[in-house]
Amino acid sequence: MSELNKIALKILSNGKGILAADESTGTMTKRLESVNVLSSAENRLLFRETLFSSESMKNCIGGVILYDETIKQLTNSNKSIPDLISSAGAVPGIKVDTGAKVLAGSPEEKITEGLDGLRERLKEYYQLGAQFTKWRGVYSISNKYPSKLSIYSNAHALARYSALVQECKMVPIVEPEVLMDGNHSAEDCFNITSEVIKKCFEELILHKVDLSGIILKPNMILAGANSEKKTSNEEIAKLTLKCLRENVPSDVPGIAFLSGGQSEVEATENLNLINKNNDTNFIMTYSYGRALQQSALKFWSKDIENTEGTQKVFNHRANMCTLAAQGKWSA
């Protein structure tokens, strides 16, 4: 078993999942302002430190994805954030892309940037304690899109990123996110996600990435948020499993879904059904941002000193997700 494979399994095994707390300062500011909390570096740290110090870090959270600001911050008791996470038995990770920008040649689409100087930044993050990383490519569905150009160029960037990350002894999370925005059907999402994932693996293989040392972070197969046709949770689970079974090479140890705008309960219920019906060898777990933090953030915003109460809300959500990651959740 390679070292990278061991790290991936440590993050994903036994119903554990990933807490995606890597919102950029811009996104975090939107989240905090939506609950009327000032977005200062201090408040961003306070909320995150509250989550990282909670009980469920030990039993539920296998890894935490950090943002550049957070990985360099110190806790109240002068501990580094990666140390705080490691002391709970979880693995610290870091978002290393620098965001999705307009794609030259297809200006209505996005390409994720951050490859220039990446090797040097990775060395720094490794020194700071990171053992895994994240890079997210985004694709929107509409009549014309995603274009072949966006599917190819994002796959290429994800593969170049992954090769560099493994060279620096860390596990890359490969995140091709087909967005939920729009009125497309679940079948459209299935066809496009299949094409996107297939292309990603073609590029990963071309760049000699060790597939046993990556984590795939895909979207579930869902109809667009504005679609009139309702897809049942059973259908979502069935289509998601079919897409992954057909397009993910068997060397990949595990899949950790993004929540992508699903509610906390939807994201839990869908993950549970995926696991109840999982006929693949892949671990299927969560790497949720909003679907782990939403209720905790709302609670915290009412009294940002109430650490215990906020942790109770977060622990409940993390416990539910961990049950779902084992197909043991019930409403």
Q: What residues line the site for ligand 13P (CB under 6 A)?
A: 20, 136, 175, 258-260, 288-291
Which uninterrupted H or E stretch holds 17?
strand 17-20
The one-letter code for the residue type at 290 is R
Q: Is 6 a catalytic residue?
A: no
Structure tokens at 153: 């160029």
Q: Which residues pair with 175 in a beta bridge?
A: 136
Q: Is 175 a catalytic residue?
A: yes
**CA gap 79, 182 in Å, rounded:** 44
Output 82 or 260, the one with its CB closest to ligand 13P: 260
Output 87 or 263, the one with its CB closest to ligand 13P: 263
Sign of torsion over alpha carbons 271, 23, 170, 314: negative
Q: How far is the CB of 252 from ligand 13P (least distance, A)?
A: 18
Structure tokens at 236: 């979502």
Output 136 or 184, the one with its CB closest to ligand 13P: 136
Q: How many CB atoms lie within 10 A of CB 247?
A: 18
First to last CA, the chain: 38
**CA gap 317, 326 in Å, rounded:** 15
Output 208 or 298, the one with its CB closest to ligand 13P: 298
Given the residues 217, 238, 264, 269, the one annotated as active site: 217
Output 97 or 188, the one with its CB closest to ligand 13P: 97
Residues 6+ apart with CB under 8 A from 258: 20, 175, 177, 217, 218, 219, 287, 288, 289
Q: How far is the CB of 305 from ligand 13P (least distance, A)?
A: 26
Given the residues 23, 49, 175, 203, the one annotated as active site: 175
Active site residues: 175, 217
